[in-house]
Structure 1
Amino acid sequence: MINKPEQTEFAINLMQHLVTATFVLDTDGNVIIWNRSCERLTGITADEVIGTSNHWKAFYSNHRLCLADTIIEGRTNELDNLYTVSAQPSVYGNGYKAENWCVMPRIGKRLYLAADAGPIYDNHGQLIAVVETIRDQTDQKIAQKKLEELAVVDELTGLFNRRYFNDHLDSEWKRCAREGSPLSVILLDIDYFKQYNDNFGHLVGDECLKSVAGTIQRSLLRGSDTATRFGGEEFCVLLPGIQQKGATKIAERICANIEKLEIPHPTSPVSQWVTLSIGVACILPSENDTPANLLTLADEAMYRAKAGGRNQSFCAETD
């Protein structure tokens, strides 16, 4: 039978060889175990931190609590302010889990780390240590972000897609309604794009769409303005807090910038270059109106621009 000292030594040796980065703090917050996986992850050796409370330096440039510290100091109520994600219990038992980005000072890398911390009690229920395990989730986080972006970004043009626009329009409508500020929309359609595709082919047509999309995006001067590929050769710009006069100026700037591209369109009856038909609408959001009505007004204005000869913008008439 293994006696208690031997059991303790065995447990320490086992922890040292775990593939998961692990460290243990005593009740004073000092490091008593810093395993080899923790050394590899952080670039900091056990000799540098054992017996000290400097473990935070492995993860942060400025002093702050690690997950294990919040348990020792009874400050787990601060987790929401310290971490991007936090919850109780930990997946490993009676403890806490948390995730956030860390700029690792020693290795000079920015990693997304997932931590689990759990208390260790003696036979009398007294806290004697806290164990924290850390997993590098950077690759998974980057992959997740890319998947999320693919869900809301048009693959061809790099603009937001219709799905994102619908959600964003709804949230901006509600925000503008609360603040009593206007919300404007610009709908843009490439003139005679079918003829363009028929003449040059779809690959050249795709390049045209990308050029137009990039020009629309570069024509927007505020980070709050959102450009979307609405579908096919149609685009949409959402302008929170902008009156109709301001939206019209933005539409005219987009139109002028498209003309500067001088994309040849020999089959267009209105110009030798690629041009746009544009509809502009502005509403002061309220409970008596809907986002759908704003889009309808912009759509009607765009078709009036088409009916009037294309290569122009038209403003919706509102009360």
Structure 2
Amino acid sequence: MYTETHLDLGRTFAVRLMQHLVVPTFVLDATRRVVIWNRACERLTGVGAPEVLGTRDHWRAFYDTPRYCLADTLILGRTEELTRLYDSHTVPSDNTLGLSAENWCVMPRAAKRLYLAIDAGPIFSEDGTLIAVVETLRDMTEQKLAQMALHSLANRDGLTGLANRRAFDTAIVADCQQAQRDTTALSVLLADVDHFKAYNDTHGHQKGDECLRTVAQAIEAQIFRQGDLAARYGGEEFAILLPNVDLAGALQVAERVRAAVEALHLPHGGRPDGGPVTLSIGAASGVPWDGPDILIATADEALYTAKRAGRNRVVGNAVTRPTLVEELYEA
């Protein structure tokens, strides 16, 4: 039979065990105050236990502005905050289970940015009352950086550094779905280097590659908004995705891109008119009710119109939803 003395000894042993764990660990009581901050946690964060014990200031070890840590969300029952707070996470089926999450942490005292895998597990009394939450941390920075590098290699064009065709195809499907849900316009620009075959014939393929890299840099420099995407579509053709941008806005971006490439004054040498390297650009915009194919086809048609009209110019077309009569006729 266990006595109160045995239970006290057990608690003392558990605390000492946590203190000496090689896994960074801290414990919050039911009021979210720090009751254990082990030595591995001190080494990871640069924050000593005396600074945080008895306080709710544990967030200062990981972030530069106040926010909940994973243990806080479990104690408060605020699991709806997880998507906002963490890059990835699990959601428990009930409050007796723990949480797992991953996130970049700025680590102000340690002066380094780390990607941490975090687990938070509740501790209950015999009557089912929550008495504490244990949070453990694992430094996953090297693995995350390696994963990001592999993802970049898989989605970047090796020659120009822009997104590749695969990344563009994935992005336009997602952007179309979002535009349909929000009933907002999505714009696509297709740009083609004018007389590029003649440029290669004149200067050789190595110079041709240098030309494409330079043009790609000029295009990327004109894409300012987060969420926009510039990609190498294939050969000497480039594509730009502009979510929530109507045709007027798309034409402005297209003209800015066209002018930026012309301003490079790259000698062409193979153009019949003796001019520099330029772009022809086709723009398409509208709510993509029928998915990406109609947007791309419309932009491609506008691009060829620009080429037939003399190149080094922008042409745009709107994409509209078919009327009920047109849909019935097509059916």
> How high is the TM-score relative to the length of structure 1?
0.80
Deviations 1:201-259 (A, max 9, x none): 33322221111112122334555543221111111223445554554454344333222
| Matches of 1:243 and 1:77, distance apart in 2 | 34
Give unmatched runs, 5+ long, in structure 1.
none
Distance apart, 1:134 and its partner CA? 1.1
- The aligned counterpart of 2:140 is 137
Contact 1:31/1:55 (8 A) holds in 2: yes
The aligned counterpart of 1:194 is: 197
Q: Say whether 1:284 aligns with 2:286.
A: yes
1:98 matched to which residue of 2? 101
Residue 153 of structure 1 pairs with residue 156 of structure 2? yes
Q: Following superposition of structure 1 onto structure 2, how do residues 113-262 of structure 1 map, counting pairs within 5 Å?
A: 113-121=116-124, 127-177=130-180, 181-220=184-223, 222-223=225-226, 225-244=228-247, 246-262=249-265
Give, in angstroms, the shift of residue 67 of structure 1: 2.7
- Contact between 1:67 and 1:116, CA under 8 Å: does it hold in 2? yes
Residue 43 of structure 1 pairs with residue 79 of structure 2 = no
1:309 Cα deviation (Å)? 4.8
Does structure 1 retain, via aligned residues, the 8 Å contact 2:302–2:315? yes
> Aligned pairs, how many?
314
Tell whether 2:97 aligns with 1:85: no
Q: Unpaired segments of 5 or more residues in structure 2?
A: 321-331
Q: Structure 1 pair 241/97, CA: closer, same or farther in 2 (3 Å)?
A: closer
Range with bigger deviation, 74-83 or 195-204: 74-83
Q: Distance in 2 between matches of 1:114 and 1:44?
A: 19
**Per-residue CA shift, 1:66-102, capped at 9, x if unaligned?**
3334444455554445433332559xx9422223333
Amino acid at match of 1:258: V
State the percentage of identical aligned residues: 52
CA distance in 2, matches of 1:70, 1:240: 34
Which residue of 2 is the match for residue 18 of structure 1? Answer: 21
Q: Is the 8 A contact 1:182 1:282 kept in 2?
A: no
> 1:128 offset after TM fit, Å?
4.5
Contact 1:176–1:284 at 8 Å: present in 2 too?
A: no
Q: What's 2:324 paired with?
A: none
Taking structure 2 as the reference length, the TM-score comes to 0.77
Residue 125 of structure 1 and its aligned partner are, at CA, apart by: 5.2
Partner residue, 2:327: none
Worse-superposed segment, 184-193 or 307-316: 307-316
Measured in 2, the distance between the counterparts of 1:41 and 1:75 equals 26
Distance (whole Å) between structure 1 residues aligned to residue 184 and residue 98 of structure 2: 46
2 CA distance for matches of 1:51 and 1:317?
62
